[in-house]
Amino acid sequence: MADYVLSIQAVLDLQAIADYGYATFGVAKAREYGEALEQRFEQLAESPAMGVQADEFANGLRRFKQGSHWIFYVEQADGIFVARVLHERMDFVRHL
């Protein structure tokens, strides 16, 4: 079974997403969004090629859009390493 590992920065990204979601949309919607991200991490770990190559940012980097966020990850032998989870309006070059 493939698995995913989150970078420290990705954990901080998810915390910020959750905080914003709770404050803006309420607990139920924030949890729903967080669960959708986690499910997508699991799917990407099983099928890393789902995402598009993002070599313009770093060699071997891939990305996949989930809701209003892009999941940036690298394929590993046993799944994926999630580097960042960035809002679609963020400057990717600056944050990667």
Total-model pTM: 0.94
pLDDT in tens, 78-92: 999 999 999 999 888
- Are 95 and 7 in contact by the 8 Å Cβ rule? The answer is no
pLDDT in tens, 4-24: 999 999 999 999 999 999 999
Q: What is the pLDDT of residue 24?
A: 95
Q: In terms of residue numbers, what domain contains 80?
A: 3-95
Q: In whole angstroms, give the CA distance from residue 13 to residue 15.
A: 5
- Are 61 and 74 in contact by the 8 Å Cβ rule? The answer is yes
23 forms beta bridges with none
Q: How confident is the model at residue 1 (pLDDT cuts 50, 70, 90)?
A: confident
Q: In whole angstroms, give the CA distance from residue 72 to residue 83.
A: 6
Residue 72 sits in a domain whose CATH number is 3.30.2310.20
> Dihedral of CA 36/76/13/61: which sign?
negative
Tokens, residue 59: 């060699």
Number of structural domains found in the chain: 1
